[in-house]
Amino acid sequence: MTQARVLDKAIIDTRPLHGGDLSEVALATLADGRRVVIKRGPLVDVEGRMLTALAEAGAPVPQVLEVAKVQLCLSYLEESTPTPTLWRQMGRALADLHRARGESYGWDEDYAFGAVRIDNARSDDWPAFWAERRLLSGVESLPGDVAQRIEALARRLPDLLPKRPDPALLHGDLWSGNLLFTADAAFLIDPACYVGDAEVDLAMLSLFGAPPAAFHDGYGPVPPGAEARRPIYQLWPALVHLRLFGAGYRGMVSRLLDAAGA
């Protein structure tokens, strides 16, 4: 970190924190003894506004202490090993978040994961949003056979996804690395918010491993047909990983296309 001051206090020590694949993240100790998290990157101001929106919806997130164009300062949360009680708490917190409603699908600002742009232009048609803003976004950069299968699946989405599911406030990048547990609480971190089908968050959370039963106990039941829709929703983060990190994720994309019947 090159910034010498934050919160009008001198930074006397920093150390890197995990989660810095797409931005620089560090734990900073200030001259007054406080410890804070500092994130630097081109869109951290957008992340700050997303965290504020989540907090206003009652979601447990780090406190935004200071935000500028390329630097975000957050409260520091000391991680601990999650217990079943905390997993249940996380499930309840996510269910509460998904009860926060928007008027249309999308978000007022676009976002990005590194070089992968996230188009959040608003829509009242959920299958069209998922096709145009997610699956087909950047399709020209995919291997030809994968692109053809994605395009074929996108054409079928009106028959596979609900036209207007409840417009839930989503975390938007909900994998296990973006869940943080302290000794007595569960938090959501590193959002990529937009309004959409709540099943999107649940699908991503099971893409790289499944949360324990206590989480599902806390979250509650999901709508009929969610299991069939899951691979369609998991394709978006899988495609992002393919574009960002290369051919090692091609097998995951192919398996999800198979599962989606594409």
Residues classed as catalytic:
173
71 forms bridges with which residues in the sheet? 40
DSSP-assigned states of every residue in the chain: ----EETTEEEEEEEE-S--SSSEEEEEEETTS-EEEEEESTTHHHHHHHHHHHHHTT-----EEEE-SSEEEEE-----PPPHHHHHHHHHHHHHHHTSB-SSBB-SS-EEETTEEE----BS-HHHHIIIIIITTTGGGS-HHHHHHHHHHHHHHHHHS-SS---EEE-SS-SGGGEEE-SS-EEE-S---EEE-THHHHHHHTTSSPPPHHHHHHH----TTHHHHHHHHHHHHHHHHHHHH-GGGHHHHHHHHHHTT-
Considering Cα of 93, then 98, then 101, then 104, what sign does the dihedral take? positive
